[in-house]
Amino acid sequence: MTDSITVSTGHTFELPVSLSATIAGAVFPADRAAVEQRLPAGIAPVGMRADSAAMTVLVVRYDRVGEETIPPYDEVGVLFPAVEAGTRTIPLLSLLRRAVSGYVETLPVTTEPARAFGVDIWGYPKLVADIDVTDEGKTRTATVRADGETLLSAAIQRPPTLPARLSGYNFTLKDDRLLREPTKLRGRVGAWPATSRASVSFGEHPIGRQLGAIDVGDRAILRLAADCTFTIGAGEPIID
């Protein structure tokens, strides 16, 4: 079953939406108390240990969105791996399963259609920003600037990839309702543990200052990469 949704820019999407992208990402250890303050009621963070949390940074280049519904765009996301409150979790294992699933904290993008696509359908916290993405060898770097200020900078060396199929979900707030969006990924995927070949720093933009106030470890728990097609389904309300 598909649903049609027309967003504020006049573009119409069929749900679930299929996208094609290349991704470089890294998961960093983060202070659990600080992350919990950023999460809405109804979800809880996962991390390496029961008393820890994590922050995932993803640098994404989309080359197809829907049936080429909008032009390609770049995106840099920061999310906190999380599960619904009350879900039984196992430290490290739950994080490995949900490294790229969780609550989306911020999602700068390069175009207005990309912003409307995420905000109007799911409530993703997107903003239009200047994003400079560079691929040099295996390393992808990105600098995000919004309103004339640096929000974040990241550099991630992509690990080797293998064919894989994965599923997960994201959490967003839309109209003060907590939604869960099912995601499926198919393509080449890679992950590499405990590495110094990834870094992130936050700037003076207000969102950057908020994220910079969280104690985040210098050494990544995981480096991630994907060359893939993935789908995002309709948001499902989570009832407390």
Tell me what pLDDT residue 63 has.
Answer: 97
**pLDDT given for residue 2 in this prediction:** 62
Distance CA 114, CA 124 (A): 11
Q: What are the backbone angles phi and psi of residue 129, rounded to the nearest 5°?
A: -145, 165
What's the length of the chain? 240
Measured CA to CA, the distance from residue 182 to residue 234 in angstroms comes to 7
Selection from 48, 23, 10, 18 nearest residue 191 by Cα? 23
Contact 194, 223 (CB under 8 A): no
pTM for the full predicted model: 0.95
Residue whose structure tokens are 């994220």:
211
Per-residue pLDDT at 96:
83
Report pLDDT for 49: 86
Domains of the chain: 18-231 (2.40.400.10)
Angle at 155 between CA 44 and CA 99, to 5 degrees: 25
Cα separation, 22 vs 73, whole angstroms: 11
| Region of 148 on the Ramachandran plot (φ > 0 left; ψ -120 to 50 alpha; else beta) | left
Give the Cα separation of 62 and 20 in Å (integer): 6
Tens of pLDDT, residue by residue, the chain (240 residues): 468 999 999 999 999 999 999 999 999 999 999 999 999 999 999 998 888 999 999 999 999 999 999 999 999 999 999 999 888 888 778 888 878 889 999 999 999 999 999 999 999 999 999 999 999 999 999 999 999 999 999 999 999 999 999 999 999 999 999 999 999 999 999 999 988 999 999 999 999 999 999 999 999 999 999 999 999 999 999 975
pLDDT at 87: 87
**Cβ–Cβ < 8 Å for 102, 59:** no
The answer to whether 38 and 80 have CB atoms below 8 angstroms apart is yes
